[in-house]
Amino acid sequence: MALYAAYASNLHPERMSVRAPHSPLEQTGWLRGWRLTFGGEERGWDGALATIVEVPPSEDPDSGVEHQVFVALYDLTDADAEQLDQWEGVDIGLYTKVKVRVDTLEGERLAWTYVLDDYEGGLPSAFYLGMLADAAEAAGAPDDYVAELRSRPCRSVG
């Protein structure tokens, strides 16, 4: 079993019950020093795809900006991890795995997650952005985190 930090659409418990049916949700937490962003606009079926990037510590400690991404930790079986890799396009080079430290109420946990193997930039569709906000809400993310997701710029239709 391996600890997986789900973010974006994989935050939704129903989605994860399909993608990793034998792997229980352990808890939620935060990737501190990371931010949710988008990239690979030409690779997504409906605009840019969600990813995370590590943010170097600010040179201005008084800036008041704290970068963090809400995540759900799942204890993945090997079979579920393999299935999730297929969903995330690891075999075609869409996403790669990285190790991250997750802050939880019980302390820091080491986990792995996916990052997009493409350049940052581009806008997600309104539908995709709404799906990410709905997933965060279903996973128990704070209201201000969900509201920030819903207020992000998105791709125009047409």
* Pair of tokens at residue 38: 């988008």
CB 127, CB 156: distance < 8 Å: no
Q: Which residues fall in the annotated binding site?
A: 4-9, 128
Output the pLDDT for position 57: 72
CB 55, CB 33: distance < 8 Å: yes
The full 3-state SS of 55-122, as one line of letters, equals CCCCCCCCCCCCCEEEEEEEEECHHHHHHHHHHCCHHHCCEEEEEEEEEECCEEEEEEEEEECCCECC
Residue 88 bears catalytic tag: yes
Tens place of pLDDT for every residue, the chain, 158 residues? 689 999 999 999 999 999 999 999 999 999 999 999 999 887 767 889 999 999 887 655 556 667 899 999 999 999 999 999 999 999 999 999 999 999 999 999 999 999 999 999 999 999 999 999 999 999 999 999 999 999 999 987 65
Output the pLDDT for position 62: 57
Architecture of domain 2-57+66-140: Roll (3.10)
The model's pTM is 0.92
Calpha distance 75→70 (Å, rounded):
17
**Catalytic position from the list 88, 106, 108, 120:** 88
